[in-house]
Structure formats: C-alpha cells, structure tokens
Amino acid sequence: MSPKPLRIGTRKSPLAVWQTKTVQQLLEQQGQPATLVHIDSDGDQNLTQPLYAMGIQGIFTKALDTALLNNTIDIAVHSLKDVPTQLPQKVVLASVLERENVDDVLVFNSASNRLPNTGTIATSSLRRKAQWLHKYPNYTVDTLRGNVQTRLEKIESNNWTGALFAAAGLSRLSLLNQLQYQTLDWMLPAPGQGAIGICCHQENTALHKLLQSVECSTTRACVTAERTFLRVLEGGCSAPIGVRTHVHGSTLEIEGGLFSIDGKQSCVDRCSGPLTTAEILGQQLAEKLLHNGGTAILEDLKKS
C-alpha cells in the first residue's frame, strides 16, 4: 500500500508552481506521492502597492502558514527570501534545497541594450532601489509589481531602461537566455535569495525527517547566516538590507549591507569563520554594522 499523498501548498504564480513541482518530484523520488494545493496570498492579490508599503512581513507566506496550521495542507513551499525570520508558532523551516544563482540582474527594454548615464529603471524592492541609487544616483526608480511574466511585459510598455529581477526566478522559468540582461554582481542579494524553503507543522516529526532528506546542508548554513543577519538588524520588506555568503572549503564568508532608501547612506562590512558557526557569523556581522553606522540608518528609516 502506497503512502497517503502529501498536500503541498503553493502560490498560483508560475514561478511558485515551478518551485513546488520541483519539491513534488524530489519527494516522489523518495517514494512519497504528493499533490499541489493552490492558495492565494496577499502579495499576489494586491499588485498595485509597492511591497514595502503593504505594512506587513510575510505577505507571500501568511496564507500558506494559515493553511498549514489549519491542516489544509501538509507542507508549504516558498522562495526563501519571502519567508520572515520569525515564523509563526508551530511552523518550522524543515528543509532548504540546493541554491540557485543568487545574483540580481537588470533586464533591458528591447529598445535599449546598454546602460546610459541617466534613465529610469523599475523594481518593487527597496533593497534593489537603494543599492541602484547608491551606484547610479542620476537614475529614477519606478515601482513594478506582478509575477515574473507580467513584470517582463511591463518593461516593454514603459519608457524604462529596464527592470531589476532575481536571476534565479528567470532561470527557473527558462527565460533568462531569451533576454538582454546584465548581471549585477555588485548588488547584495536578499537574504535567502535563490533558495527554496519547505515549511511544515512542528509536531509532524516524521514529515520533518522526510523533508530533511532532500536538504542541502551547505545552503542551509549560508541562509542561516543570512537570515540571522537580517533578524538581528530587525529588517524586512521595509528595510534595504542585502547580504551575500560564500563557502570556501570549511570556511563561510558573509558580506552584508544596510542602505538608506535614497542610496546616499550605506554601511557595508564582512566577516568569516567556520561553516559550523553560521548563526554566530550572521549575528557578529549585524552587530558590526550597527556599531559602525547602521543604527543611525535604521533610525532614519523608521522615521520615513
């Protein structure tokens, strides 16, 4: 007798469904059948306001968390960068899959395949906006919302140089190679960017164990450092915070930054240590930034 199919909760966007089907395939390779359950999130329903103006963290995860706690689904699949550092009671981040490309990219309007000295780009991310303006202060940044395909279409219907995206999402949807783009390796990604996280109910220990069998331990260490860095800084969608980790053998290097919304102020630093001390490294780097100017930037952000 085959196991009872697991109910996997997913948002309805093509990228969310792709990620969830990836998890479904991994579980089926373990002999565990699974079915998809589509759930709307607040972030999907409101496509006009910038993400940072919606006033809450977890706008893409709240509905799935509720379904988990109500036993409507067994597991929830997320882009890890959307998952708040403070999970609801009885919800655990049970597994993190091997990471994709963490970089951001500028996707050009088809009429402009180069970066002029001045212009307009679009994004809904304060992190991307702040870092772009820090590097290119002569630019204007417009708001862009919607799923990946919708945002790509909007580039062509607006007089923008281009728009900013996570490379991982475009790659997963087999779109990246069809576009004119520039990799922004200088831009610090969102904590957890490029990683897929799987959540389940804390009390379902058997399921937790099954999900750990598909986890990438190196990615888990990296995102643990990044999410600890974010948590200590008390940032979320409303704070321009970026962080990048690299693994060299048994050493983890973490670089993080905090920026003012207009990009005029920045505080960037790095530290490194054993891979096994990921959480400590994330905390140390955050405290280093707070001590060296980050506190003042955060205070200004709270007033804006």
pLDDT at 44: 40
Decide if 283 is inside a domain. yes
Pair 202, 234 in one domain: no
- Could you list the residue range(s) of the whole structural domain that residue 241 is in? 229-303
Pair 35, 84 in one domain: yes
CATH number assigned to the domain comprising residue 278? 3.30.160.40
Helix axes 278-289, 217-233, angle to 10 degrees: 30
Pair 66, 209 in one domain: yes
In this prediction, what percent of the chain has a pLDDT beyond 70? 92
Pair 203, 61 in one domain: yes
CATH number assigned to the domain comprising residue 25? 3.40.190.10
Pair 211, 278 in one domain: no
Decide if 65 is inside a domain. yes
Decide if 296 is inside a domain. yes
Buried b (16+ CB within 10 A) or exposed e, 147-156: bbeebbebbe
Pair 112, 54 in one domain: no
162 close to 107: Cβ distance less than 8 angstroms: yes
Pair 209, 276 in one domain: no
Decide if 221 is inside a domain. no
Pair 72, 200 in one domain: yes
Pair 119, 252 in one domain: no
Decide if 223 is inside a domain. no
pLDDT at 237: 54
Q: From CA 97, how far away is CA 78, in angstroms rounded?
A: 11
Q: Residue 109 is encoded by which pair of tokens?
A: 């309007």
What is the number of H-type helices and E-type strands within the chain?
A: 10, 13
Decide if 248 is inside a domain. yes
98-111 pLDDT per residue, tens: 999 999 999 999 88
- Tell which phi-psi region holds residue 155, choosing left (phi > 0), alpha (psi between -120 and 50) or beta: alpha
Decide if 33 is inside a domain. yes
Q: Structure pTM? A: 0.90
Pair 90, 208 in one domain: yes
| Residue ranges for the chain with pLDDT beneath 70 | 1-2, 41-60, 235-237
pLDDT at 61: 82
pLDDT at 52: 41
Pair 143, 256 in one domain: no
Q: Residue 207 is encoded by which pair of tokens?
A: 């399921």
In this prediction, what percent of the chain has a pLDDT beyond 90? 81
Pair 88, 141 in one domain: no
φ and ψ at residue 90, rounded to 5 degrees:
75, 10
Please tell me the number of Cα atoms within 13 Å of 284 on its side-chain side.
13
Decide if 222 is inside a domain. no
Structural domain count, the chain: 3
Which helix (H) or strand (E) segment is 282 a member of? helix 278-289
Among all residues, which ones are annotated catalytic? Answer: 82
